């Protein structure tokens, strides 16, 4: 995970003062090219890391061989935590980030903590990918960290343009498609960043609700959207040993209902419509039996007839 490496890279440089890309590659068990890209990413993000040319060169921290985290400026600390925070999905990395926060000067510790929790990465897409990272993401991240309300010129799904004053609570990168979770007069809302025509950060304070956690809030959004996207369910029978394979195919839309004997299990799967369920089950052949609804059985029969007409002869 890249965030683990970025934090480990910074800690190694703290301990040694100067390292080469080759030394980092050996320590972190990655390629030299990967180690070099990580160093360049830290430098580009504003962390005080710079290359030293010539014999005995490498990469060093500004301030000398034994620089500690108190040497980071507020902006540099925010840059580091914006890089590392979104991928802090393991207990070890979260513990490392907490230790880094405690090592920072108290005057900007709160901003670093806010930066670490400003973004969540959700790698599972909804069948589409973003073309490029929207330029407005950086502006919105700054507003989230500084807790300032923003004025959005936003075009909704129907193409209608409106201006809204919102309190930005966090950003989500869902398979390269970016979303903003924000507070409005009507409650919490989710905005797609690529539909934002313009963003203006105001001086108005934007408070988060007590106990708000971005990852948990986003999980609720995903559950609601997925339920809307998959309103139809079907009950199927298959060999118990194949249940994990079916779950891998349908994801959260596969619910085991228990064994029925003779090495068989009952499972409920869901999708937007009968045709979609049938299309996903057709490749299983007779290893899966659809119990109900009849609409899915009819769709499977149609697919079977079409395949037989083309290939049966």
pLDDT tens by residue, 61-85: 765 434 445 555 555 555 555 555 5
Nearest to 148 by CA among 112, 107, 182: 182
pLDDT, mean over the chain: 79
* Domains of the chain in sequence order: 2-116 (1.10.10), 122-227 (2.30.30.520), 230-311 (3.30.70)
| pLDDT in the model for residue 62 | 66
Share of the chain above pLDDT 70, in %: 72
Share of the chain above pLDDT 90, in %: 31
Weakest-pLDDT range from 115-129, 148-162, 289-303: 115-129
Handedness of CA 43, 49, 53, 55 (dihedral sign): negative
R_g over Cα of the chain:
25
Whole-prediction pTM = 0.52
Distance CA 160, CA 156 (A): 5
Q: Return the percent helix, strand and coil in the chain, to nearest 5.
A: 50, 30, 25
What DSSP character marks residue 55? T
Distance CA 61, CA 276 (A): 55
What's the burial of 236, exposed, middle or buried (CB within 10 Å: 0-12/13-18/19+)?
buried
pLDDT tens by residue, 5-19: 776 777 677 666 778
In the numeric block, the tokens 């599972």 are attached to 124
Please check whether residue 249 is in contact with residue 280, taking contact to mean a CB–CB distance below 8 angstroms. yes
Please check whether residue 145 is in contact with residue 111, taking contact to mean a CB–CB distance below 8 angstroms. yes
Distance CA 170, CA 182 (A): 7
């Amino acid at each position: 995970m890249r965030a683990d490496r970025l934090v480990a890279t910074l800690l190694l440089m703290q301990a040694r003062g100067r390292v080469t890309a080759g030394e980092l590659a050996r320590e972190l068990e990655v390629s030299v090219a990967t180690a070099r890209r990580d160093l360049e990413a830290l430098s580009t993000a504003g962390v005080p890391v710079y290359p030293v040319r010539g014999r005995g060169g490498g990469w060093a921290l500004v301030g000398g061989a034994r620089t500690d985290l108190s040497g980071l400026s507020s902006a540099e600390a925010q840059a580091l935590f914006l890089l590392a925070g979104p991928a802090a999905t393991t207990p070890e990395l979260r513990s490392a980030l907490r230790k880094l926060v405690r090592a920072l000067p108290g005057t900007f510790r709160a901003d670093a903590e806010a930066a670490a929790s400003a973004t969540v990465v959700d790698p599972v897409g909804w069948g589409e990918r973003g073309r490029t990272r929207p330029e407005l993401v950086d502006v919105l991240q700054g507003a989230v960290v500084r807790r300032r309300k923003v004025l959005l010129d936003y075009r909704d799904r129907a193409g209608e343009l409106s201006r809204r004053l919102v309190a930005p609570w966090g950003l989500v990168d869902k398979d390269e498609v970016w979303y903003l979770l924000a507070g409005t007069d009507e409650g919490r809302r989710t905005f797609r960043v690529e539909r934002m025509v313009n963003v203006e950060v105001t001086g108005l304070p934007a408070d988060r609700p007590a106990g708000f956690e971005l990852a948990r809030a986003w999980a609720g959004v995903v559950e609601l959207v997925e339920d809307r996207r998959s309103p139809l369910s079907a009950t199927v029978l298959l060999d118990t040993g194949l249940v994990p394979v079916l779950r891998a195919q349908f994801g959260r839309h596969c619910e085991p209902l228990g064994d029925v004997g003779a090495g068989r299990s009952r499972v409920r799967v869901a999708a937007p419509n009968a045709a979609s369920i049938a299309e996903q089950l057709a490749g299983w052949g007779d290893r899966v039996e659809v119990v109900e609804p009849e609409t899915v059985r009819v769709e499977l029969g149609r697919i079977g007839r079409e395949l037989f007409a083309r290939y049966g002869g």
